[in-house]
Amino acid sequence: MNERNLKGIFVPVVTPFQTNNELDLDSYQKYLRSLLTHEIQGLVVNGTTGEAPTVCWDEVTSLVELTKHTMKNNPIPLIVGTGTNDTMSTLKRTELAAELGADAVLIVVPYYNRPSQEGIVEHFRAVAQVGIPVIMYEVPSRTGVRITLDTARTILDMDGVIGLKDCSGNTELVSELTRLSSKPVLCGEDIYFHSMLTAGASGGILASASIETAKFLQVFRLAEEGRDLEAMTVFESMVPFIRLLFKESNPSPLKWLLARQGLIASDHVRLPMSVISSSLQEEMEQMLVSNLSGIM
Ligand SMILES: O=C(O)C1=N[C@H](C(=O)O)C[C@H](O)C1
């Protein structure tokens, strides 16, 4: 995988669990097969949406193997989340992902220990040397640390780093990087998808594309063709749905909807995540009944 492939709609997949906390691989395969009926550009396993903090490496291995098996006749790029807040364990996981045949790794800016900008740069320099393409993942609302434009540029200039997943909460970073003709930026914050495309993003890694796959593909295609008004109209039809999907922590609302659609058996999430509140369930039911964004 290289920076030219970092374009279009990438779906970060959920990790289905049984109510006893075991992986539910039957559901996982059914859900994957349904996603793969769309012409998406890639999948992300063990991202935030995949509940990476509570999935152990043996389980990631099972998920990656089953993903590769399921798409063997029609392989698309497979990105695996291997970033942690410890450089040594990130390196180990990244090497293991490469051995499993991942096409790229998604490396979150180290969270919780609040490294300096220099520490963040060195973390990425180490991972970039493993030899598998690296996508940097900026999500300050989750990590507690925000990268500067200089840090983003320094990391994106490294050989082995192919792009950035931007969940920075606004369009500043993507606009600046686009102005500087940097490597590709994928939107990682669903509600900003259209504005980030307008600002120069080359696509998105979007949890809501698990449900509204066709519409996200349509927005991307229309924007690429320069039909921005149409792209905006389709995107705006999804805004109420996206707002509900992120009203409580991702991926609990998404898992509820996938279970409601019968694509996974249960909306179970591992603690400390919890299933959505009854009030959000009611709002989601209401959305389905009034078919707000045309889903289902
Ligand atoms: O799993 C991901 O990748 C995504 N994570 C974001 C988050 O939950 O912070 C949301 C985005 O849709 C995809």
Active site residue 111: no
Share of the chain above pLDDT 70, in %: 98
The chain-wide mean pLDDT, for the chain, equals: 96
- Residue 292 clears pLDDT 90, i.e. is over it: no
Q: Ligand 1, residue 208: give the atom nearest the CA.
A: 12
Distance 86 CA to ligand 1 centre (A): 21
Does any ligand 1 atom lie closer than 6 A to the CB of residue 206?
yes
State whether the beta carbon of 190 lies less than 6 angstroms from ligand 1. yes
- Residue 137 annotated as catalytic: yes
Mutate to test the pocket of ligand 1, among 189, 213, 258 (most ligand atoms within 8 A of CB): 189
Q: What is the pLDDT of residue 295?
A: 62
| Residues annotated within a binding site for pyruvate | 49, 205
Contact 217, 39 (CB under 8 A): yes
Alpha-carbon distances of 179 from 62, 154, 196, 236, 249, rounded to whole Å: 41, 15, 13, 26, 33
pLDDT confidence of residue 176: 96
Q: Which residues are annotated as a binding site?
A: 49, 205
Atom of ligand 1 nearest to the CA of 142: 9
Burial 35-63, CB ≥16 within 10 A → b, else e: bbeeebbbbbbbbbbbbbeebeeebbeeb
Which helix (H) or strand (E) covers residue 67, if one does?
helix 57-70
Decide whether any atom of ligand 1 lies within 6 Å of the 250 Cβ. yes
State the Cα–Cα distance between residues 168 and 161, nearest whole angstrom: 18
Spatial distance between the Cα atoms of 116 and 101, rounded to a whole number of angstroms: 32
- Taking 90 as the threshold, does the pLDDT of residue 71 lie above it? yes
- Asked if residue 108 has its Cβ within 6 Å of ligand 1, the reply is no
**Does 138 sit in the ligand 1 pocket, CB within 6 Å?**
no
SS3 248: coil
- Separation CA 287–CA 194 (nearest Å): 22
In contact, 38 and 214? CB cutoff 8 Å: yes
- For atom 5 of ligand 1, the residue with the nearest CA is 48
Cα-to-centroid distance, 125 and ligand 1 (Å): 24
Q: Distance, CA 188 to ligand 1 centroid (Å)?
A: 6
In this predicted structure, the answer to whether residue 296 has a pLDDT above a threshold of 60 is no
Adjacent-strand bridge partners of 163: 135
Residue entry with tokens 């970060």: 12
- For the segment 242-265, what is each residue's pLDDT rounded down to a tens digit? 999 999 999 999 999 999 999 999
Q: Which residues lie closer than 8 Å to 50 by C-beta, 6 or more apart?
A: 12, 13, 14, 15, 44, 63, 81, 251
Average pLDDT for 1-9: 95
207 close to ligand 1 (CB < 6 Angstrom): yes
Angle at 87 between CA 81 and CA 89, to 5 degrees: 65
Which entry of 68, 72, 111, 137 is annotated as an active-site residue?
137
How far, in Å, CA of 163 to CA of 108, rounded? 12
SS (H, E, C) 76-88: CCEEEECCCCCHH
Q: Do 125 and 107 contact (CB within 8 A), yes or no?
A: no
DSSP bridge partners of 187: 166, 204
Question: Minimal CA–CA distance to 89: which of 70, 111, 64, 114?
Answer: 111
Which among 165, 183, 215, 255 is annotated as catalytic? 165
In the reported structure, the alpha carbon of residue 204 is separated from the centroid of ligand 1 by a whole-number distance in angstroms of 10
- Rounded to the nearest whole angstrom, what is the distance from the C-alpha of residue 79 to the centroid of ligand 1? 13
Beta bridge partners of 10: 42, 205
39-63 average pLDDT score: 98
Average pLDDT in the 50-64 region? Answer: 98
Q: Which residues pair with 166 in a beta bridge?
A: 138, 187
Annotation: CATH topology of 3-227: TIM Barrel (3.20.20)
Over residues 84-138, the pLDDT tens digits come to: 999 999 999 999 999 999 999 999 999 999 999 999 999 999 999 999 999 999 9
The 10 Å CB-count burial string (b at 16+, else e) for 130-152 is bebbbbbbbbeebbebebeeebb
Is residue 135 within 8 A of residue 156, CB to CB? The reply is: no
Give the pLDDT band (50/70/90) at residue 74: confident
Is the pLDDT at 205 greater than 80? The verdict is: yes
In this prediction, residue 290 has a pLDDT band, given cuts at 50, 70 and 90, of confident
Q: Is the pTM of this model over 0.90?
A: yes
- Tens-digit pLDDT profile for residues 163-202: 999 999 999 999 999 999 889 999 999 999 999 999 999 9
Gap between the Cα atoms of 231 and 220, Å rounded: 7
The conformation of residue 52, written as its DSSP 8-state character, comes to G
